[in-house]
Amino acid sequence: MRKKVLIALAVAVTLVGVVFGGAFAFQRKLIYLPEAGPVPGAAAVLPGGRDVTLTTSDGLSLASWYFPVAGAKAAVLVAPGNAGNRSFRTPLARALTARGLSVLLLDYRGYGGNPGEPSEEGLALDVRAAQDFLVREAGTPLIYFGESLGSAVVTELATERQPSALVLRSPFVDLASVGQRHYPFLPVRWLLRDEYPTKDAVTRVKAPVTVVFGSADSIVPAQQSREVAQAAGARTIEVPGADHNDPAFSDGPELIDAIAGAIR
């Protein structure tokens, strides 16, 4: 009997090890969901659009889109969420340029046909390359806009390179807080390699912050976005009944007004 118990325990430990080991090894496949393409040319999407290449400090060349507006009052650096590619953000670019804002749609490493594998460290380098580009090209105030995962990316950037304004859409407290909600059976905080501590980082941002989120968000709980806003002392815009990927967060009036009015 004792031998059988020991065998059962050994099997259980092995299974747990396999589950946890697999979760650790393949976690980035669950976090980052890139769409490789095909991606059309920027000019085919919006008149005057430019295909640009951003060069990161670790030597990657990232294809992105830039939509300059003559006499723009500001330029918007768009850091996307964890899925899709820049073509998914076309409605956002169209709405913002119509409001007199130049727009850079960044595609991270591994997204939109770009080389490399996404990670927290890698995305930090990518967004710095995007900011470098806008400093050279735009010559106007910069607004950092991040959606979901991108909120964490631009918040970290803003702690070192202050923008004129920071707009966060559906930000989370940190990645583990979101992961624990969706994988309650795993010790997420022990397993995660990427942390994205948005709530802690935003307290070090000196620029004005605006937080936009949906009251019915099923991916990032609305309470987490409220906590980020409170930590930042941010202007808060809650869109009633909106879920994480609703059209309201593509080019809805609340979002576009928030970005266009971010520099106060």
**pLDDT tens string 97-121:** 999 999 999 999 999 999 999 999 9
Q: pTM for the complete prediction?
A: 0.88
148 contacts: CB under 8 Å, gap ≥ 6:
81, 82, 169, 170, 171, 172, 219, 220, 244
d(CA 78, CA 107): 9
pLDDT at site 22: 40
Which of 177, 179, 167, 184 lies closest to 229, judged by CA? 167
d(CA 196, CA 113): 24
Q: Enter the CATH code of domain 45-260.
A: 3.40.50.1820
Helices (H) and strands (E) in the chain, counts: 12, 10
For residue 260, what are its two tokens?
Answer: 């266009």
The parts of the chain modelled with pLDDT lower than 70 are 1-30, 182-190
pLDDT at site 2: 54
